[in-house]
C-alpha cells in the first residue's frame, strides 16, 4: 500500500508543477519549518536535509526541484539566493 501512496503523491506533484527538464520542476515553495517546505500549487510537502536557515520563515520563493526517485540525487535549488539543499522525501 505504501508504494502505491508514494506513486500517487509523485504523480500529483509532477502533474501540478511546470516541467523544466527530465527530472527538474519549477515550484513556488513556502517554508514551514527548518527542513520542511510546501509547494504552493500542489500542496505537496518537501522534506529536506541540512537546510537550516537558508530561507526566511513564511516567505514564498521560486525553486527548482530535482527529483530522481526515492534513492536518486534529489535536491532543491532556491533561485533567488542560489542556495541548494538535499531533499529527503516528498509527501
Condensed to tens digits (0 to 9), the pLDDT of residues 40-50 reads 988 899 999 98
Assigned C-alpha cell, 81: 539566493
In the chain, where the domains are located:
2-90
Question: Does the structure show a pLDDT above 60 at 38?
Answer: yes
Q: 48-76: per-residue pLDDT in tens?
A: 998 876 666 557 899 999 999 888 889 99
- The pLDDT-based confidence of 14 (bands split at 50, 70, 90) is low
**Residue 13, Cβ density class (10 Å: 0-12 exposed, 13-18 middle, ≥19 buried):** buried
**Quick one: which of 71, 56, 65 has its CA closest to 85?**
65
Amino acid at each position: 500500500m505504501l508504494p502505491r501512496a508514494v506513486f500517487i503523491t509523485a504523480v500529483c506533484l509532477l502533474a501540478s508543477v511546470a516541467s523544466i527538464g527530465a527530472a527538474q520542476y519549477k515550484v513556488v515553495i513556502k517554508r514551514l519549518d527548518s527542513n520542511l517546505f510546501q509547494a504552493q500549487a500542489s500542496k505537496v510537502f518537501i522534506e529536506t536535509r541540512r537546510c537550516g536557515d537558508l530561507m526566511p520563515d513564511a516567505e514564498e520563493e521560486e525553486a527548482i526541484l530535482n527529483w530522481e526517485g526515492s534513492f536518486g540525487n534529489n535536491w532543491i535549488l532556491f533561485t533567488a539566493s542560489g542556495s541548494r539543499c538535499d531533499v529527503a522525501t516528498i509527501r
